[in-house]
Amino acid sequence: MYIAEMLGITKTFGDLVANDRVDFQLRKGEIHALLGENGAGKTTLMRILYGLYHQDTGTIKIEEKPVDIRSPKDAIANGIGMVTQHFALVPPLSVAENVVLGYTDSFVLNRAAIEEKVGDAAKRFGIHIDPKSLVRHLAVGQRQRVEILKALYRNARILILDEPTAVLVPQEVDALFETLNRLKTEGLSVIFISHKLYEVTQITDRVTVLRDGKLIGTVNTADVNQSALAAMMVGRETFGVTRQTETLGENKVTLQINSICVNNDQGLKALTNISLDVNAGEILGIAGVGGNGQKELAEALCGVRTCSSGSIHLMGEELLGRTPAQFTQAGMGRIPEDRHEGMVADLTVTENLALEHLNEYTKNGVLNHKAIRSQAEKLIDQFQIKAQPNDSVRTLSGGNMQKVLLARVLSRNPKALIVPQPTRGLDVGATEYVRQQLLEQRNRGAAVLLISEDLDEILALSDRIAVIYEGEIVGIMAADEATPERLGLLMSGAVKEH
Ligand SMILES: Nc1ncnc2c1ncn2[C@@H]1O[C@H](COP(=O)(O)OP(=O)(O)OP(=O)(O)O)[C@@H](O)[C@H]1O
Ligand SMILES: [Mg+2]
């Protein structure tokens, strides 16, 4: 018996067929992966199940009964819960208040009673969270737990998780998987979306693959490996880039960071005396577990966050104290970690591609729309962005938004590039493409600072690798001297070489 069935689901947006007669069947007590390239239609299918969109045609059955799901309220009434990447929590409220918000049987909010009820629920589901904590004090992984608890508290028997691990550090991923496995033994069904194939093989029981909105098939996870899944998704098995090992000669320092100190949002010290030189034609990788100052480093190097001391020189020019726009003008390219930052969702792809660079298209105060448009068409083609120039960015799939950002920054041929988590949320093909782009930027002579929590990514691309721990550089080495073990020890704070 299936707890949920989606049969013959079609959903179009204008001319675009996002889901094309898709069948999806979910068993009770299974973890079921939904896999596919960026734009394949995964989120759309799940938004239909959760009542955020309505299918053009097709049927949804819950426990074999046809249901009409018109809103999240209908979905919740049918035992369906969904956790997206952008949490819908109220930061100043407590965990308990957030969990019961919009779902209490009584009008009077008795704080102690609520905390006890939510605390009991947390225990019952094995979710480690203090009901009294304020959400604004919680890390991303903990906020996600609140969202999961919120769904379970509303009696969800089907839990949809759309790229839950994209925002988590490795320890948080382990904790999430533990929770999911426990929930599964209690009969809960989980729909798990991820681009990380090893996660899919690790945690799921079955996998459904979509390509271009169409169902490719559903398989038992035990019967496939990562290459087979990649082949189902994109039609080929092997992915990866080859790093060029020869250096570009002259070892010219492009970006010189000297002893900068930076505070975090809470006003506490996030970076202490960071000094790094990034040469022309070099990728310097910054390895580290998330939350050790990476975010602050990336922001400081683009003028988005102020440094309390130190200096930042780009081609000998001091940038400290300048505005983000002046950093950009001086030749600093930045790909924000959060793709929603740095883009305007309501503007079109064309407009977003020109953003921050309008001066290049302006002559005597007049904007050259034709030039903007033809540049956009060129970039859409070159970066294989699945979108039309006039689509508003809001309607793009996550991965395609990331490509728009990359296209805008990389097409400017910046002298230095700051790239935090460049492939987060990208499918295997797009990941390979972005990595290739970063290598090409290196090969044309850009100084690239790659900040990534993905050790494989660091090892695949970097010429040199530095490790950041608690806001300090604790080690720096040439790529051929780096091993996962050595990096792991530095990343955990067990040793210091610097
Ligand atoms: N509200 C909308 N309006 C117009 N087009 C949309 C809308 N929502 C999604 N689309 C389009 O539907 C297609 C499928 O998008 P969807 O978000 O489902 O992809 P996805 O598989 O979740 O991709 P990703 O892995 O990048 O998140 C994309 O081409 C997207 O641009
Ligand atoms: Mg999606």
Q: What are the residues whose beta carbons fall under 8 Å from the beta carbon of 375, sequence distance 6 or more?
A: 353, 354, 361, 411
**Long-range Cβ contacts of 488-492 (<8 Å, 24+ apart):** 488/455, 490/287, 491/287, 491/288, 491/289, 491/467, 492/289
| Alpha carbon nearest to ligand 1 atom 7, residue | 395
Is the shortest distance between the CB of 375 and ligand 1 below 6 Å?
no
Cα(37) to ligand 2 centroid in Å equals 9
CA–CA separation, 150 vs 98, rounded Å? Answer: 8
Read off the pTM: 0.79
For the chain, how are helix, strand and coil distributed in percent, rounded to 5?
35, 30, 35
Instruction: Convert the pLDDT of each residue in 68-95 to its tens digit.
Output: 999 999 999 999 999 987 778 998 999 9
CA-based nearest residue to 448, from 428, 468, 422: 422
Q: Ligand 1 pocket check: which of 10, 16, 200, 233 to mutate, most ligand atoms within 8 Å of Cβ?
A: 16
Cα(334) to ligand 2 centroid in Å equals 24
| Alpha carbon nearest to ligand 1 atom 17, residue | 397
The larger pLDDT score, comparing residue 25 to residue 111, is at: 25
pLDDT of residue 249: 60
pLDDT of residue 237: 67
- Whether residue 457 is predicted with pLDDT greater than 70 in this model: the reply is yes
pLDDT of residue 41: 95
What mean pLDDT is predicted for residues 188-195?
Answer: 96
Tell me which ligand sits closest to the C-alpha of residue 42: 1
Rg for the chain (alpha carbons), in Å?
Answer: 24
Tell me which ligand sits closest to the C-alpha of residue 34: 1
| Alpha carbon nearest to ligand 1 atom 8, residue | 395
For helices 369-382 and 398-410, angle between their N-to-C axes, nearest 10 degrees: 120
What mean pLDDT is predicted for residues 289-304?
Answer: 91
Check residue 132 and report its DSSP letter: T
Taking the CA of residue 400 as reference, the ligand 1 atom at the shortest distance is: 26
Is the shortest distance between the CB of 19 and ligand 1 below 6 Å?
no
pLDDT of residue 262: 95
The larger pLDDT score, comparing residue 384 to residue 250, is at: 384
Most confident of the ranges 43-52, 232-241, 283-292: 43-52
How many beta carbons lie within 10 A of that of residue 111, not counting itself? 12
User: Alpha-carbon torsion 296, 299, 301, 304, what sign?
Assistant: negative
pLDDT of residue 105: 62
Taking the CA of residue 14 as reference, the ligand 1 atom at the shortest distance is: 4
Instruction: Convert the pLDDT of each residue in 337-384 to its tens digit.
Output: 777 777 888 899 999 998 877 777 888 888 888 989 999 999 999 888
Task: Report residue 316's pLDDT band, with 50, 70 and 90 as the boundaries.
Answer: very high
Taking the CA of residue 36 as reference, the ligand 1 atom at the shortest distance is: 21
Is the shortest distance between the CB of 475 and ligand 1 below 6 Å?
no
pLDDT of residue 399: 81
pLDDT of residue 294: 93
Q: Ligand 1 pocket check: which of 12, 395, 400, 404 to mutate, most ligand atoms within 8 Å of Cβ?
A: 395
Is the shortest distance between the CB of 39 and ligand 1 below 6 Å?
yes
Cα(32) to ligand 2 centroid in Å equals 16
Q: Ligand 1 pocket check: which of 15, 34, 43, 401 to mutate, most ligand atoms within 8 Å of Cβ?
A: 43
- Helix segments in 411-467, DSSP class H: 428-443, 455-461
Is the shortest distance between the CB of 396 and ligand 1 below 6 Å?
yes
Is the shortest distance between the CB of 42 and ligand 1 below 6 Å?
yes
Q: Phi first, then psi: what are they for 390, rounded to 5°?
A: -95, 0
Query: CB–CB of 42/160 below 8 Å?
Result: no
CA–CA separation, 470 vs 478, rounded Å? Answer: 22
pLDDT of residue 108: 62
Is the shortest distance between the CB of 44 and ligand 1 below 6 Å?
yes
Tell me which ligand sits closest to the C-alpha of residue 431: 1
Cα(17) to ligand 1 centroid in Å equals 10
| Beta strands across the sheet bearing 269-279 | 269-279, 253-263, 307-314, 317-318
What mean pLDDT is predicted for residues 297-320?
Answer: 94
Task: Report residue 104's pLDDT band, with 50, 70 and 90 as the boundaries.
Answer: low
Cα(238) to ligand 1 centroid in Å equals 25
pLDDT of residue 285: 98
Strands (E), 134-243: 158-162, 189-193, 206-211, 214-220
Lowest mean pLDDT among 221-230, 239-248, 390-399, 468-477: 239-248
| Alpha carbon nearest to ligand 1 atom 3, residue | 395
CA–CA separation, 194 vs 484, rounded Å? Answer: 24
Lowest mean pLDDT among 96-100, 123-127, 206-210, 356-360: 356-360
How many C-alpha atoms does 204 have within 13 Å on its Cβ side?
A: 30
Query: CB–CB of 51/69 below 8 Å?
Result: yes
Cα(193) to ligand 2 centroid in Å equals 8
Query: CB–CB of 115/96 below 8 Å?
Result: yes
Q: Which domains, ranges and CATH numbers included, belong to the chain?
A: 2-234 (3.40.50.300), 253-331+414-491 (3.40.50.300)
| Beta strands across the sheet bearing 447-452 | 332-334, 416-420, 447-452, 282-287, 464-469, 472-478
- Whether residue 107 is predicted with pLDDT greater than 60 in this model: the reply is no
pLDDT of residue 169: 73
Cα(18) to ligand 1 centroid in Å equals 7
Is the shortest distance between the CB of 395 and ligand 1 below 6 Å?
yes
Is the shortest distance between the CB of 13 and ligand 1 below 6 Å?
yes
Cα(400) to ligand 1 centroid in Å equals 9
CA–CA separation, 255 vs 253, rounded Å? Answer: 6
